[in-house]
């Protein structure tokens, strides 16, 4: 079995990003990512810190705007609009979830689609489904990069994606379709899931249920992408797939951790750098 090692690829890409950032800086443009966090959700704090750390590591400018849990929607909209107009800001990311008094859709819609590095805005999602250039959600983007780096061509393959969230399943389906795969999206209401997943040349598990998929769910020789991140009671992190059971059955598979996860932040940096490149071209 070929291990689809996301950490190794992420490390390689990070080094390349460091060099690109250095070149951009010589041209007078420092790529800048601003992460906005509202409230003090501990998981969000960890995610935002790791984004900050990565940005700093590759030489980018990064700023964390921490707003109180009582922030109103109007206040947050004002912050987003100010960032939209700030020429030095390339990427804007509002960490989700937001407190109840704020409508997430209103905020995501307010982010300038050209700075929407999470790729969640309706404009970017529309572009993605129209197969037009735009910013793409980072986890699905990372999956495509990881498969490509291992010369796994999705064209003509039966791809079954289990999970239909806006951040993983749906945008990944669009990317796969754009890359000429035949795509099926499954979810909790899918009838006879096992029969379906067994047809997959490439199976993507993104449901958030530890070890849900075993040998009886997967065709021999298939490629398996495990997006799930599940923290068990003993503190260990595991995916949606039974890695040990499947490793002698499939042709390639991502581990958890060190598979899809490390690619997500790497794609966030990549998109921010791409936006900064456009800024450098404008001069």
State the residues that interact with ligand NDP by CB under 6 A. Answer: 139, 162-165, 167-169, 186-190, 193, 206-209, 227-230, 260-261, 264
Write down the catalytic residue from 51, 65, 115, 157: 51
- Choosing from 90, 116, 118, 240, which is the catalytic residue? 118
Give me the least distance between CB of 262 and ligand NDP, in Å please: 8
| 192 catalytically annotated | no
To the query of whether residue 95 is one of the catalytic residues in this protein, the response is yes
Nearer to ligand NDP, 76 or 172 (CB): 172
Nearer to ligand NDP by Cβ, of 83 and 207: the residue is 207
Q: Is 114 a catalytic residue?
A: no
Is 165 a known ligand-binding residue? yes
**Least spacing, CB of residue 35 vs ligand NDP, in Å:** 16
**Is 164 marked as binding a ligand?**
yes
Residue 121 or residue 266: which is nearer to ligand NDP going by CB?
266
Closest CA to 33 of 260, 261, 267, 258: 267
| Smallest gap from residue 184 Cβ to ligand NDP (A) | 12
Q: Would you say 91 or 228 has its CB closer to ligand NDP?
A: 228
User: Is 282 flagged in the annotation as binding?
Assistant: no
Residues designated as active site: 51, 95, 118
- Residues contributing to the annotated binding site for NADP(+): 163-165, 229
């Amino acid at each position: 079995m070929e291990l689809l090692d996301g950490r190794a690829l992420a490390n390689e890409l990070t080094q390349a990003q460091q060099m690109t950032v250095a070149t951009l800086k010589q041209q007078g443009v420092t790529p800048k990512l601003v992460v906005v966090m509202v409230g003090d959700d501990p998981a969000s704090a960890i995610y935002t810190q790791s984004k900050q750390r990565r940005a700093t590591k590759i030489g980018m400018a990064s700023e964390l705007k921490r707003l109180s849990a009582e922030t109103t929607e109007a206040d947050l909209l004002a912050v987003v609009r100010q960032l939209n107009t700030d020429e030095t800001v390339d990427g804007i990311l509002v960490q989700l979830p937001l407190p109840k008094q704020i409508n997430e859709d209103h905020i995501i819609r307010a982010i300038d689609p050209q700075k929407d590095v999470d790729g969640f805005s309706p404009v970017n999602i529309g572009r993605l489904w129209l197969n037009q250039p735009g910013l793409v959600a980072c986890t699905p983007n990372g999956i495509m990069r990881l498969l490509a780096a291992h010369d796994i061509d999705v064209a003509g393959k039966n791809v079954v994606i289990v999970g239909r969230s806006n951040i993983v399943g749906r945008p990944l389906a669009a990317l796969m379709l754009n890359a000429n795969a035949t795509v099926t999206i499954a979810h909790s209401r899918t009838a006879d899931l096992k029969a379906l997943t067994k047809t997959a040349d490439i199976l993507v598990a993104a449901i958030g249920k530890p070890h849900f998929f075993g040998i009886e769910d997967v065709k021999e020789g298939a490629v398996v992408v495990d997006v799930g991140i599940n923290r068990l009671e003993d503190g260990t992190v595991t995916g949606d797939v039974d890695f040990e059971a499947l490793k002698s059955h499939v042709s390639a598979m991502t581990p958890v951790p060190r598979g899809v996860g490390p690619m997500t932040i790497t794609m966030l940096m990549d998109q921010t750098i791409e936006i900064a490149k456009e800024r450098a071209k404008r001069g």
